[in-house]
Amino acid sequence: MNKITVLDWDTVSTGDISKDEIFSDGNITFYGLTSAEQTAERIGDSPIVLCNKVLITEEIMDACPDIRYIGLFATGFNNIDIKAAKKRGITVCNAGSYSTDAVAQHTFALILGHYSKVSLYRDYTESGKWITSPTFSAFPYPMYELAGKTLAVVGFGSIGKTVAKIADAFGMNVIVNTRTKPENCGYELVSLDDAFRRADVITFHCPLTEETKGAISRERIALMKKDAIIINTSRGPVADEQALADALNSGQIAGAGLDVLEYEPMRKDCPLIGAKNCIITPHVAWAPLETRRRLINIVNSNIRAYLNGTPENVVNP
């Protein structure tokens, strides 16, 4: 029977997904969360390791020479030393494209949060202010239509394409910045600087690389329209957080919607705490129940394929 160690189950389930839903043909040990100091001991002689954000470094691999397979509860794999795994013959598999619809949905929740002000109007009615309104329709907070506005999509993978499709339905004008020219793209392709310059809304759906780190920079923010907003549901370090906070607080741009930060959980010294017109959610775009169940199914399928000798979603072939 296969020995399997799950290192950070609590990042996948709050109790709404049963442990029984994980691949059952094995001797499985679950840990809610695992610190760096606990990782090697908990993996021990387990050949199959499942994790979401736990760092599995070359040192961990040296301390746990029986590892043969690392399965990720995620699309990103920057927490795994891929080169070290390949050198040791360890197969690493991620779960791609499981969260496309959820992240696209959350992207527009952040966009609409800025333009439709639903949370502000909910607070308005709950505070009793509508009861004392002299008019039947009270609209103290300015709202705006999405139709006709320019949405710049940075990164045109499955999420970026879905975001563009939703924007079409809203009647937005879509422009795209992407590293590789997509086939049969029906949208105008622009440089990153032009995307910042022309966008009413610029939204990021790119991986974190040396090229994308700090892409939301002080210099590029300076190119933006004063009434434009920034949305980031990709990776926190894509943004220079101090530059973004300064731009928001000075009114240089109109707003931001963020689901990711450079350090997660948020630190007390995060410069975006209290920034003007900034909506921050705690990295939950991927987390609807249906999305996490889809993730579990992909992780299970990856394990079965590996054990059958035909691994899928391998990130270090």
Neighbours of 273 (CB within 10 A): 14
Nearest Cα neighbor of 164 from 116, 215, 199 is 199
- Domain residues for the domain of 26 are 2-98+289-307
How far, rounded to the nearest angstrom, does the alpha carbon of residue 43 sit from its chain's CA centroid? 27
In a domain, 17, yes or no: yes
What is the C-alpha to C-alpha distance for residues 17 and 39, in angstroms, rounded to an integer? 24
The answer on 170 and 29 residing in a single domain is: no
> Is 87 a member of any domain?
yes
pLDDT score recorded for residue 76: 87
| pLDDT surpasses 80 at 300 | yes
Query: In the numeric block, which tokens belong to residue 187?
Result: 């949208």
| Within a domain: 262 | yes
Is residue 79 a part of any domain in this protein? yes
Catalytic residue positions? 235, 264, 283
Give every strand in the sheet of 2-6, ordered side by side.
26-30, 2-6, 48-51, 69-72, 91-93
pLDDT score, position 1: 66
Distance CA 291, CA 188 (A): 31
Whether 73 and 180 map to the same domain: the answer is no
Examine the domain organization and report whether 71 and 191 are in the same domain: no
| d(C-alpha 181, C-alpha 99), whole Å | 23
Clarify whether residues 83 and 167 are in a common domain.
no
DSSP 8-state class, residue 304: H
Across 44-59, average pLDDT: 97
**Residues 243 and 129 both lie in one domain:** yes
Taking residues 295-306, what's their average pLDDT?
A: 96
Q: CATH number, domain at 132?
A: 3.40.50.720
Considering the domain architecture, whether residues 256 and 296 belong to the same structural domain is answered as: no
Measure Cα distances from 269 to 34, 221, 236, 315 in Å.
24, 22, 15, 35
Q: Across the chain, what does the average pLDDT equal?
A: 96
Strand partners, 4: 28, 48
**Amino acid letter, residue 198:** R
265 — alpha (psi -120 to 50), left (phi > 0) or beta? beta
Looking at the structure, do residues 112 and 209 belong to the same domain, yes or no? yes
Contacts of 113 (CB under 8 A, 6+ apart): 119, 257, 279
Are residues 60 and 134 both part of a single domain?
A: no
Within this chain, do residues 128 and 147 fall inside the same structural domain, yes or no? yes
The verdict on 132 and 147 lying in the same domain is yes
| Exposed / middle / buried, residue 187 (Cβ in 10 Å: 0-12, 13-18, 19+) | buried
Identify the band that residue 78 occupies on the pLDDT scale cut at 50, 70 and 90.
Answer: confident
Residue 40 lies in a domain: yes
Same domain (yes/no): 10, 124? no
Answer whether residue 314 is part of any domain. Answer: no
- N- to C-terminal Cα distance for the chain? 26
| Residue 99: predicted pLDDT | 96
In a domain, 313, yes or no: no
pLDDT at residue 274 is higher than 90: yes
User: pLDDT digits over 180-203, tens only?
Assistant: 888 889 999 999 999 999 999 999
Q: If you average pLDDT over residues 6-35, what whole number do you get?
A: 93
pTM of this prediction exceeds 0.85: yes
Q: Are residues 12 and 136 in the same domain?
A: no
Amino acid (1-letter code) at residue 268: K
- Domain membership flag for residue 317: no
Q: How many domains does the chain have?
A: 2
Spatial separation of the C-alpha atoms in residues 228 and 209, rounded to whole Å: 25
